[in-house]
Structure 1
Amino acid sequence: MQIEVRPTLIVNTKVDGRASVDLIWLSQLLKDIGQGSSLVVASKKSGTSYRGAWGKLNQVEAELGMPLIIRTKGHGSELTEFGNFLIQFIEDMQAEHLKHDAQYHDRLLKEIKKIQKSESVRWKFFSSSDSVIQKAAGEIQGLELKIAGSGESLERLLSNEAHIAGYHVSDQDSSKAIYQRLSKNNIEIYPVMKRIQGLIVKKGNPLRIRTIEDLIGKKVRFINRQIGSGTRLLLDNLLMEEEIDPSDLNGYLHEEFTHSAVANAILADKADVGLGVKNIALENGLGFVPLKDEIFFVAMHKEMAAQPASSKLIRKIRSASGETPGYKAVSLNRQIQDWL
C-alpha cells in the first residue's frame, strides 16, 4: 500500500470567488525565482501558465498584505525579505514533519488494516481452545474466532453475541442437558469430533503420574485451566468422583487459558502436570496420560446453519480431526446417540 503523509499550508480567500492557494506549491515557484529563473520559466516548471502563476502570486500578496517578489522592469524579479522567509519557513516545516512522518504513516496503515479486518468479519465464532478448531476457523473467510471457555461460548451464542459456539463435554448427562437447552432455543447442534483429554506431564513422566490421585500433595506442581472452561469442569468432576478436595492439589488456583499455555508452563518448569488434550502434549514433546474421551460440538442458530460458511467450517473440522493424533472425526448423530 503506497500512502504518503504530507503537511499542507494553504491561503484561503473569499475575494472574487477565487480558489485557495497551496503555499507549498508557491514556495517552490519562489525558490526557482530566487535562484535566477524568470517568472515565465518558473511557472512552466510548476505546471502552471504564466498568467496563472502571476494571478496566484497577486492573490497571496493581497491576502497576506505582504509582497513576495520585487518586479524590476528589464531586470526580472527578486524575492522580498518575506518571500525568502516563507521559503525557509516551509522548508523547516517539512523537515520537522519528516522526523515524525514514519510514526504518522505507520499509525495510519495500522488503523486502515484494523478497520479492514473488522469490516471483513461477518460471523463471530466463540469456542473452547483447540488447535483443530483454530486451524479450521482460520481457513473460513469472514469468520472471526474468539477463544473462550465452553460455558462462556454457549452463553454468548444464547445472548446473540456469537453466531457459532464450540464446546466440549466429557459425560453423557451433561451433554444431554446442554442439547435440550439449546434445542429449546432453536439452536442446531453438530458433533464434529472426539478427542482425548488427560494429564500432560514432563517428557518421560519423571514423577510417575498415572491417575488423578497422584496429583495430591505438595511434591507435584499442578497447573489448572480457567473457571468456565470445559477442561476445568472435567477436572472438577474427576476430583468429585475420587472424593478429592481441590485444595489438596498444589496449584489448583494457578490458571491458564489454553491447552498450549499449560504445555508451555510445563516446558518452562513452572509446573509438573496439567490437564489437556493429547495432540498438544505430542506437539511439545511432552508425556501424556489419557483419562477421558470427550465430544466436541459446534452449535449455531438455524439462520446461521443455512450459511455455506457453516457447513464448510464443520467439514474442515471433521477433516482436520481425522488427521490429528488424539482425535477422531464424528460426522453423524447416531455415532453418539447416547450423548444427545
Structure 2
Amino acid sequence: MQIEVRPSLIVNSQGKGSVDLIWLSQFLKDIESGSSLVVASKKSGTSYRGAWGKLNEVESALGMPLIVRTKGHGSKLTEFGSFLFKFIDEMQAGHIQYGSSYQETLLKAINQIQKSENARWKFFSSSDSIIQKVVGEVKGFSLKIAGSGESLERLLNHEAHIAGYHVSSEKSSKAIHQRLSKSDIQIFPVMKRTQGLIVKKGNPLHIQSMEDLLNQKIRFINRQIGSGTRLLLDTLLIEEGIEPLDINGYLQEEFTHSAVANAILAGKADVGIGVKNIALENGLGFIPLKDEIFFLAMHQEMVSQPESSKLIRKIRSYSGNTPGYKAISLNRQVKEWL
C-alpha cells in the first residue's frame, strides 16, 4: 500500500465552480517554457476549450490576467502569472519537507486499525513485556492488559479466548488449576520469572528486604489491586507480619511493571515491586523476592487453533533468552504446581 499526501489549492469562482491551482501551475509552467495553449492543454489532460475556460475563470476571480495573448506571437505569461506558478512550486516543495510525517501518521493509524479489525481472539493477560512482544508478532490476537484475577474471570465468563496469569505459590496454582479444569479449560506453563524490589541504580538507600519498606523516608510504588504482583506483595507482607499501611506509598498504584520502573526513574518513588527483566532493561537495581510461574489458559476450542501453538512457542523461545526468565516447555517441569 502506498499513500501520498498532496497539498490542495483551489480558487472558487462565483457561480462557476472551482479551479485547482495545482493543475493551473503546471499549465502556466508549460506556457512559460514555450508551449502553445493547444499543446499545454493536451499535456494537462484538458481540452483546449476547457483549459481556456478555466484560465478565464481564475483571471476573473483573481482580478488579474495570467497570460498575454499576442496575435501571431502566441501566449506569454504576465508578471502575475509567473509569480503564481513559482509560488505554487515553492509551496509544493515546502510540503514535501513536512508531508512525509503526515503520511507516516496516516499509515500507522491505518495499520493499527487493520490489526484491530483482523483480530479474531481476545487475549487478557497480566502485564509482561514478553507477552506484549509476542502478541505483536503473532496475528489474530488483541491484547488487553489486566490483572491475573481479572484475566481469569474474563476467560471463565467467555469474555476472553486466552488468559495469561502468574502465581508464586504451589497451593494457589493448584486451586486455580482445579477451578479451570471444571470449566474444561486447559492451562499451559510457559515461563518462570523472578519478582522482587526494583530500586534506583546503585541502590543508594541500601534497601535489602521487605522490612526496609517500613522506613518512612523510603517512597514505595505499588501495583494495582487484582494484579498477581499485588497479591504476591500482600502475601509476603502477611508472612513477615508487616502492616501494609505502615509502608509509605502502599496506596500509590501503577498498572504495569514498566510504569513502576518509570516512576522510579522519574524520581517519583524510591522502590517498587516488579519483574527482574524490567529493572535490567531500565538500568535499575533489583532485589529478588520470589520466583513465579506464568501460565496461559484457554478454552478447548482455542487449543486447536494453530495460532495458539505459535503463541506458546514464541513465548517459551523469548523467555529462554531473556534475563530474569526461564522457559517452561513441559507440565512435568511444574507438576507440583498442578
User: TM-score, normalised on structure 1?
Assistant: 0.73
SS of the equivalent of 2:332 reads helix
User: 2:264 and 2:29 mapped to 1: Cα distance?
Assistant: 68
- Whether the 8 Å CA contact 1:125–1:162 is kept in 2: the answer is yes
Aligned to 1:112: 107
- Whether the 8 Å CA contact 1:195–1:294 is kept in 2: the answer is yes
Residues paired across the two proteins, number: 327
Q: Residue 293 of structure 2 aligns to which amino acid in structure 1?
A: I
User: 2:202 and 2:82 mapped to 1: Cα distance?
Assistant: 75
User: 1:321 and 1:43 mapped to 2: Cα distance?
Assistant: 65
Cα displacement string for residues 57-76 of structure 1 (whole angstroms, at most 9, x for unaligned residues): 4665899997998977x635
State the shift of 1:31 in Å: 6.0
Q: Residue 149 of structure 2 aligns to which amino acid in structure 1?
A: G
- Whether the 8 Å CA contact 1:27–1:87 is kept in 2: the answer is no
User: 1:156 and 1:167 mapped to 2: Cα distance?
Assistant: 12
| Bigger shift: residues 109-118 or 283-292 | 283-292
State the shift of 1:201 in Å: 3.8
- Whether the 8 Å CA contact 2:218–2:271 is kept in 1: the answer is yes
Match of 1:274 among 272, 275, 287: 272
User: 1:287 and 1:185 mapped to 2: Cα distance?
Assistant: 42
User: 2:282 and 2:22 mapped to 1: Cα distance?
Assistant: 59
User: 2:222 and 2:40 mapped to 1: Cα distance?
Assistant: 75
Q: Residue 129 of structure 2 aligns to which amino acid in structure 1?
A: S
Q: Residue 107 of structure 2 aligns to which amino acid in structure 1?
A: I
Aligned to 2:236: 238
State the shift of 1:272 in Å: 3.5
Aligned to 2:169: 171
Q: Residue 153 of structure 1 aligns to which amino acid in structure 2?
A: S
SS of the equivalent of 1:219 reads coil
Aligned to 2:297: 299
Aligned to 1:5: 6
Match of 1:54 among 43, 48, 54: 48
Aligned to 1:39: 37
SS of the equivalent of 1:119 reads helix
Q: Residue 6 of structure 2 aligns to which amino acid in structure 1?
A: V
- Name the CA shift for 1:280/1:8 in 2 (closer, same or farther; >3 Å): closer
Q: Residue 114 of structure 2 aligns to which amino acid in structure 1?
A: E
State the shift of 1:204 in Å: 5.9
State the shift of 1:170 in Å: 1.7
- Name the CA shift for 1:32/1:317 in 2 (closer, same or farther; >3 Å): closer
Cα displacement string for residues 154-208 of structure 1 (whole angstroms, at most 9, x for unaligned residues): 3444455544321111223432343344344443321112222223345565655
State the shift of 1:234 in Å: 0.9
Q: Residue 188 of structure 2 aligns to which amino acid in structure 1?
A: Y
SS of the equivalent of 2:189 reads strand
- Whether the 8 Å CA contact 1:226–1:256 is kept in 2: the answer is yes
User: 1:282 and 1:312 mapped to 2: Cα distance?
Assistant: 27
- Name the CA shift for 1:184/1:270 in 2 (closer, same or farther; >3 Å): same
User: 1:132 and 1:34 mapped to 2: Cα distance?
Assistant: 62
User: TM-score, normalised on structure 2?
Assistant: 0.74
Aligned to 1:75: 72
State the shift of 1:298 in Å: 1.0
- Whether the 8 Å CA contact 2:19–2:58 is kept in 1: the answer is no
User: 1:263 and 1:11 mapped to 2: Cα distance?
Assistant: 57
SS of the equivalent of 1:335 reads helix
SS of the equivalent of 1:220 reads coil
SS of the equivalent of 1:140 reads coil
| Superposed counterparts of 1:81-100, under 5 Å | none
- Whether the 8 Å CA contact 1:226–1:257 is kept in 2: the answer is yes
| Bigger shift: residues 277-286 or 215-224 | 277-286
Percent identity, please: 62
SS of the equivalent of 1:318 reads helix
User: 1:58 and 1:205 mapped to 2: Cα distance?
Assistant: 79
Match of 1:250 among 235, 248, 251: 248
